[in-house]
Amino acid sequence: MSGTPSTPARPSGGDDPTAGKSFRTPIGTHDLAPPESGRWVALLGTFIGAADRAGFGYLQTPIFEDIGVFSRIGEGTDVVGKEMYEFADRSDRRLALRPEGTASVCRAFAQHRPTTPWKVWYQGPFFRYEAPQAGRYRQFHQIGAETLGTDDPDADVEIIALTAEFFGAIGLQRVPLLLNSMGDADTRLAYGEALTSYLQRRAADVDPADRDKIERHPLRILDSKRAATAAVAAEAPQITDFLSGETAAHFERVRAGLDALGIEHAVEPKLVRGLDYYTRTTFEFRAASLDAAQDTICGGGRYNGLVEALGGPPTPGIGFALGIERLLLACDAEGVFDVPAQRAEVWVIDTAGGAAARDLTHQLRSVGVRADRAFDDRSIRAQMRAADRSGAEIALIVGTDEIDAGTVTVRPLRRADGGSRDMPQQTVPRSELLVTLRTVFDVLNAPAPASADSSNPA
């Protein structure tokens, strides 16, 4: 995907070769529609609550940026070198669709120079030209959070705790946390040399498809899924043995903080992550319920040099991003966080032309009731069926008799939990409708009276 694509001339008028064609979403992208979209809204709502309680504010950055913002992630990484959607705009500016969020957050920090610590969260679409499969898409969606301006290990703990709390809130359980430290620039240099010379000695045992990485990007060998390479990686020198006294102490403080908060974790010295900006802490939550190739639902770490690389002052940072699609696959596999039921509370049935349904739904919505109706002047049977399908607890029926008398017929249908409760319908003056509705809701949904047997212990 690199190189400046030339802009093809747009077909005009009758020459349009797509005329009469039916279109579908591009490969690796998806529409998100109800009811599944209700799950995304609920997921975001849950995260927003946790982020808000922890003092993170919402940051929104553009979906495309100057390509230079993203090349700072590391020209040698797949994300930048192979997968970025690059383009030139009509004024020949070199731009790219964002492949991740951290570089944009650091660019925003360098541009606006906010007071620190700067704690922000973000969400939205990201783009990588990958081979699509379950859990891997070309447009995917992340939720992320970053804390800039402090190197305090407690900031690392806070970021990880926010993620762990969020997973707990949506009910995910089988998502172990793996932790590592990449040390500082000296650590990476010394470790890179040791790793390269080890891999050069073992080159013949490395899977041929991975061999070019030995010189180009030795760290990438460590997370290869190919069996022969993984066997070589298992015996490779470990980065945790190369940490300086200061970075080792930082790592220990992070681990102690996680222990203090009861957040279980395992140290994984081969956890190097796919982006080049990491220093010190790195971590991943991997879903035990998903296929190993796509089991990382959340990744993050420290990037103490990235703001400076983007033209800002030296500023440490720590953050994470989680993939919403993958997270929901893990929820499916664990049977948690179902699609929420989207249900009307009241369904208005109007057999006198529709004006009463128009006015009543409007009036009810304005006082906070989820009210809906059918359109197109359908028969009363069709409207009753629609009321049934909607899951509404109460139907309001308005025909010519009710209109002449200024009344509404209130017919209880079911309890909010879908259960049944016998209650007669009643016809009330319009002025008493809201009071009547409140009473009917209360009676319908009141706990069932205890039976004679259960109130009379033997």
ω into residue 35 within 30 of 0, thus cis? yes
CB of 210 or CB of 325, closer to ligand HAM: 325
Q: Rounded to whole angstroms, how far apart are CA atoms 292 and 235?
A: 21
Among 50, 321, 360, 387, binds ligand HAM (CB under 6 A): 321
Cβ proximity to ligand HAM: between 271 and 349 the closer is: 271
Angle at alpha carbon of residue 183, lines to 180 and 188, rounded to 5°: 110
Query: Binding to ligand HAM by residue 128, rule CB under 6 A?
Result: yes
320 interacts with ligand HAM by CB under 6 A? yes
- The nearer residue to ligand HAM, 142 or 289, going by C-beta atoms, is 142
Q: Which residues contact 312 (CB under 8 A, 6 or more apart)?
A: 106, 109, 110, 111, 113
The DSSP symbol for 136 reads: B
DSSP state for residue 323 in the 8-state scheme: E
**Contact between 255 and ligand HAM per CB under 6 A:** no
Nearest residue (CB) to ligand HAM, 51 versus 297: 297
Please give the backbone phi and psi of residue 109, each rounded to the nearest 5 degrees, phi first. -65, -45
CB 284 within 8 A of CB 180: no
How far is residue 417's CA from residue 309's CA, in Å, rounded to a whole number? Answer: 55
Member of 64, 109, 122, 137 binding ligand HAM (CB under 6 A): 137
Q: Which of residues 84-103 bind ligand HAM (CB under 6 A)?
A: 100-102
Identify whether the C-beta of residue 354 lies closer than 8 Å to the C-beta of residue 51.
Answer: no
The pair phi, psi for residue 8, each rounded to 5°, is -70, 145
Q: Please state, in angstroms and rounded to a whole number, the distance separating the CA atoms of residues 118 and 376.
A: 53
136 binds ligand HAM (CB under 6 A): yes
Is the Cβ–Cβ distance between 268 and 234 less than 8 Å? no
Q: Which of 319, 364, 372, 411 binds ligand HAM (CB under 6 A)?
A: 319
DSSP 163-201: HHHHHHHHT-----EEEEE---HHHHHHHHHHHHHHHHH
Asked if 289 and 334 touch (Cβ cutoff 8 Å), the reply is yes
Residue closer to ligand HAM, measured from CB, 130 or 151: 130
From the list 301, 305, 312, 316, which residue makes contact with ligand HAM (rule: CB under 6 A)?
301
Candidates 88-96, 137-145, 202-210, 445-453 — which segment interacts with ligand HAM by CB under 6 A?
A: 137-145
Nearer to ligand HAM, 109 or 347 (CB): 109
Among 296, 315, 351, 361, binds ligand HAM (CB under 6 A): 296
The least CB distance from residue 138 to ligand HAM, in Å, is 7
Q: Which part of the chain contacts ligand HAM (CB under 6 A), choosing from 47-55, 179-187, 255-263, 293-301?
A: 293-301
- Residue 312 sits in the site that holds ligand HAM (CB under 6 A): no
Sole binder of ligand HAM in the list 257, 305, 316, 323 (CB under 6 A): 323
How many chain residues interact with ligand HAM (CB under 6 A)?
A: 28
Spatial neighbors of 87 by CB under 8 A, at least 6 apart, are 4, 5, 95, 96, 97
Residue 146 contacts ligand HAM per CB under 6 A: yes
Running DSSP on this structure, what letter comes out for residue 253?
A: H
> C-beta of 100: minimal distance to ligand HAM in Å?
3
Question: Does 156 participate in binding ligand HAM (rule CB under 6 A)?
Answer: no
Report the distance separating Cα 456 and Cα 153, nearest Å: 59
- Does the footprint of ligand HAM cover residue 119 (CB under 6 A)? no
Instruction: Please tell me whether residue 326 binds ligand HAM under the rule CB under 6 A.
Output: yes
Residue 163 interacting with ligand HAM (CB under 6 A): no
CB of 172 to ligand HAM, least distance (A): 13
- The helix/strand/coil state of 119 is strand
Asked if 316 is part of the footprint of ligand HAM (rule: CB under 6 A), the reply reads no
Which residue minimizes CB distance to ligand HAM?
A: 323
Does position 305 interact with ligand HAM (CB under 6 A)? The reply is: no
For residues 69, 74, 76, 80, the Cα torsion angle rounded to the nearest 10 degrees is: -40
Q: Is 72 in the site for ligand HAM (CB under 6 A)?
A: no
What are the beta bridge partners of residue 143?
123, 322
- 298 lies in the binding site for ligand HAM (CB under 6 A): yes
Query: In the 8-state DSSP scheme, what is residue 60?
Result: -
What residues does 267 pair with on adjacent strands?
179
Does 299 interact with ligand HAM (rule: CB under 6 A)? yes
**Which positions lie near ligand HAM, rule CB under 6 A?**
100-102, 128, 130, 135-137, 140, 142, 144, 146, 274-275, 296-301, 303, 319-323, 325-326
